């Protein structure tokens, strides 16, 4: 039953995400903003429902079938990869700094690092389904973004070191919070065991 929830959650979550990755971006005409608001509202509701089902399915699949034995170094590398992943995640929501300009799409880079790190540390079926799906989506969406000509912040856009410092500081604080407490509180699995 857990696998059914997981697959339904993946379909609900990634369906809208793949749709938005490949649809043409329309220029809004007069009176079209309410339609866009409705679209974003439905998009968010469907994605949240998918995320909830994924989480429920992930937990319901425990203990899951082992597809491969993750190497010991995979757990250590995952811990290291989470530092830049969280910094990139924070920088995605900040005005352009050097990090955002260099990476272009820090959210996608963060998702790929997070997913890859967790695949190196987990070989269970539920983990492979969850993190593998996010890794594939991150790669496919980055290709789609590039084909659309979306190259992130403009090279000439102003940047301030302050945004980079805030991203590094906030991302590092989140890393400590997740390592010490939040990961176990959310997933039931301690980072350090």
| Extents of the domains making up the chain | 1-61, 65-193
Residue that the structure tokens 């700094």 belong to:
97
Dist. CA 62–CA 14, nearest whole Å? 22
Q: Mean pLDDT for each 10-residue chunk of the chain (193 residues)?
A: 93 91 61 68 93 93 93 96 97 91 93 98 96 96 87 72 94 95 84 75
The sign of the dihedral angle between the CA atoms of 10, 15, 18, 21 is: negative
Model confidence, pTM: 0.87
Determine the 3-state secondary structure of 66 from DSSP.
strand
Cis peptide before 136 (omega within 30 of 0): no
Cα–Cα distances in angstroms (integers) from residue 27 to residues 1, 30, 35, 68, in the given order: 43, 10, 13, 47
Count of alpha carbons within 13 angstroms of residue 138, beta-carbon side: 19
- Would you say 5 and 62 are in contact if contact means Cβ atoms under 8 Å apart? no
At 28 the pLDDT is 46
């Amino acid at each position: 039953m857990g696998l059914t929830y997981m697959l339904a959650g993946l379909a609900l979550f990634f369906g809208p995400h793949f749709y938005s990755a490949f649809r043409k971006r329309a220029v809004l005409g007069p009176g079209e903003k309410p339609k866009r608001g409705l679209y974003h509202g439905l998009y968010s509701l469907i994605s949240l429902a998918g995320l909830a089902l994924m989480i429920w399915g992930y937990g319901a699949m425990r203990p899951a079938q082992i597809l491969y034995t993750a190497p010991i170094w995979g757990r250590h590398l995952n811990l290291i990869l989470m530092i830049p992943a969280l910094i990139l995640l924070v920088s995605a929501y900040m005005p352009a700094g050097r990090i955002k300009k260099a990476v272009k799409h820090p959210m996608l880079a963060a998702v790929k690092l997070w997913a890859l790190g967790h695949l190196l540390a987990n070989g269970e079926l539920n983990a492979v389904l969850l993190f593998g799906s996010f890794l594939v989506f991150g790669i496919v969406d980055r290709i789609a973004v590039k084909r659309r000509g979306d190259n992130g912040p403009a090279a000439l856009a102003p940047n301030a070191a302050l945004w980079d410092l805030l991203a590094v500081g906030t991302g590092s604080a989140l890393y400590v919070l997740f390592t010490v407490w939040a990961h176990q509180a959310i997933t039931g699995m301690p980072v350090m065991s």
